[in-house]
Amino acid sequence: MNGNLLGYKTLKECVYDYLSKELESGNLKPGETIDEKELCERLNVSRTPIREALIQLETEGFVKILTRRHIYVNELNLDDIANIYQVIGALEAAAAERALERMTDKHIAELEKLCEKMKKALEKGDFSKHMDYNLKTHELFLKLNDNELLAKIVILLKKRLYDFPEIIKEVPEWDNMLIKQHTEMVELCKKGDKKGLNNLLKDIHWSFEKNRSYIISYYSKNNN
């Protein structure tokens, strides 16, 4: 819900959206400081909505507020990524088990279609679409789990991983491996294998150690 029953956004929400886009585009880079006074002047708003938006971004892990004059954009380091992988793995594995109880043939067909689209996008070198179809597969598990809080946490953590700034980068061996894992997810869903799906998601797909070399390549500063 945006601000009120009519769907209008509050000033705080508008500022939050603006800063989110600045982070996503890379206009605000990790390690850079945010000048609160300059931001007030640029957006022509008072300090209160600016501060409220920054507090939300700090709660979500995107910025750090030390004092009014010392606000900076958090960098995403390997320890952060390892922690995020561990949390997403545990939550998605639990969500997938629950999702299997509600999954129909229609849902499985949708998963198969997403896997095929993922593969075709990679073959065309469209890494943005490849990632989009990847995420949609996981979103189906979250949707069928019917736990809004769990879904909100996972989606927020994935934004931290991929969107601030947005990363669109080819890591061929990893991308091909992910397609194989997604295909395996579909087969486990067909079998109704909760344990197998849980293990694949938690101990392989979202294992930081098993993906360490790919992660380092993906998040390297030379993101060309």
**Same domain, yes or no: 188 and 126:** yes
Counting every residue written for the chain, the total comes to 224
What pLDDT is attached to residue 221? Answer: 58
Mean pLDDT, all residues of the chain: 89
**Same domain, yes or no: 121 and 43:** no
**Same domain, yes or no: 44 and 141:** no
DSSP per-residue codes, 153-209? HHHHHHHHHHBTTB-----HHHHHHHHHHHHHHHHHHHHT-HHHHHHIIIIIIT-HH
Report the percentage of the chain scoring pLDDT > 90. 72
CATH number at residue 34: 1.10.10.10
**Same domain, yes or no: 170 and 108:** yes
pTM: 0.84
**Same domain, yes or no: 151 and 181:** yes
> If pLDDT is split at 50, 70 and 90, which confidence band does 128 have?
confident
How many structural domains comprise the chain? 2
Please, what sign has the CA dihedral across residues 210, 155, 52, 219?
A: positive
CATH number at residue 126: 1.20.120.530
**Same domain, yes or no: 92 and 66:** no
Structural domain includes residue 2: no
Q: Taking each helix axis from N to C terminus, what angle separates 148-162 and 127-145, rounded to the nearest 10 degrees?
A: 160
| Mean of pLDDT values over 140-166 | 89
What pLDDT is attached to residue 164? Answer: 74
**Same domain, yes or no: 165 and 213:** yes
Over the range 60-95, which residues count as b (16 or more CB within 10 Å of their CB) and which as e? bbbbeeeeeeebebbebeeeebeebbeebbebbbbb
**Same domain, yes or no: 109 and 65:** no
Lowest average pLDDT, out of 31-40, 174-183, 215-224, goes to 215-224
Structural domain includes residue 178: yes
What pLDDT is attached to residue 222? Answer: 43
**Same domain, yes or no: 21 and 126:** no
Lowest average pLDDT, out of 29-38, 62-71, 96-105, 116-125, goes to 62-71
Say if residues 193 and 174 touch (Cβ distance below 8 Å).
no
pLDDT digits (tens, 9 = 90+) for 81-118: 999 999 999 999 999 999 999 999 999 999 999 999 99
What pLDDT is attached to residue 8? Answer: 74
Choose the final residue of a domain: 48, 73, 98: 73
Choose the final residue of a domain: 19, 44, 73: 73
Q: Which domain holds residue 188?
A: 78-218
What pLDDT is attached to residue 26? Answer: 84
**Same domain, yes or no: 67 and 86:** no
Choose the final residue of a domain: 47, 73, 99: 73
**Same domain, yes or no: 37 and 141:** no
**Same domain, yes or no: 129 and 27:** no
